Amino acid sequence: MSITTHHPARDDVREGRFGEGAPTASRSRLWSLAGIGAGLAGFATIAISSSISAVYDAKLQGDAPAIADKLADLTPNMFVFHSVTALGALLMVVFGVGLAARLRAGSGRDSIAPLVAVAGLVGTAVVSILGSGLDTEFMMTLSSQPEAIIPESAVMYNHWVGTIPWLWTLAGLAGLATYAVSRRGGVPRWIGRVGLVLGGLTVLLGVSPLEYMAGATGALMVLVTAVGFTVGDKHYRQ
């Protein structure tokens, strides 16, 4: 007589479609909530940076001292812009790492899609930090000692704030990577299609002379993708 027993190597893991033995704890939605915050912060960055518009005032074109004077009145906008943009960048990193882990669970260890996604989002976060990198140098001085600022430098700063933070080109790669995984059934297909359309458009805009428009499509892609994984990825979290 023989007795057969079953002794699993581990009994504290769950098996599922999206990866053998993925711990339940790894299925938290905190990373996708961070993505919602990053997307909203992206739109706020675009709106607030647009309000720092002295250099784009048709009445002041070519008049550097007048532009610098108007910028001095916009220092509150600069303070808000800096904080919102920096916070959005931090949330973007969290979202990028979480998205990479989610894509890896749906695609396998050999796929490059997770790495492409996290590289695109972390790269975008770096661009955002650099886009807000000159703020303290100018907003503090303009608010306290405006005469210490060379007007032409203030003009360049305004151009910097009005362009660099809008460059979300690399974020489009995360959308395309998500679509690639969705084709294998690793993530909901509708989220993948969002990545294809908005991520692809973001990349195309980024490599075109209309690169600043990538900020709007990129922020929208991050927001919709993050909302999708937060409320529409229930099968994975079961």
Name which of 106-115, 120-129, 156-165, 169-178 the model is least confident about.
106-115
DSSP codes joined into one string, 183-230: TTTSS-HHHHHHIIIIIHHHHHHHTSTTGGGHHHHHHHHHHHHHHHHH
- What 8-state DSSP symbol labels residue 12? S
Residue 238's identity, in one-letter code, is Q
Name which residue leads in pLDDT, 22 or 238.
238
Q: How far is CA 34 from the centre of its chain?
A: 10
Convert the pLDDT of each residue in 208-224 to its tens digit.
999 999 999 999 999 99
> Considering the chain, what is the average pLDDT of its residues?
89
Asked whether the predicted pLDDT for residue 53 surpasses 70, the reply is yes
CA distance 41 to 37: 6
Short-list 95, 124, 99, CA closest to 113: 99
CA distance 175 to 197: 8
Convert the pLDDT of each residue in 69-128 to its tens digit.
999 999 999 999 999 999 999 999 999 999 999 999 988 778 999 999 999 999 999 999
pLDDT average, residue stretch 24-49: 89
Residues in the chain: 238
H helix runs in 14-74, sequence order:
30-51, 64-72
Asked whether the predicted pLDDT for residue 4 surpasses 60, the reply is no
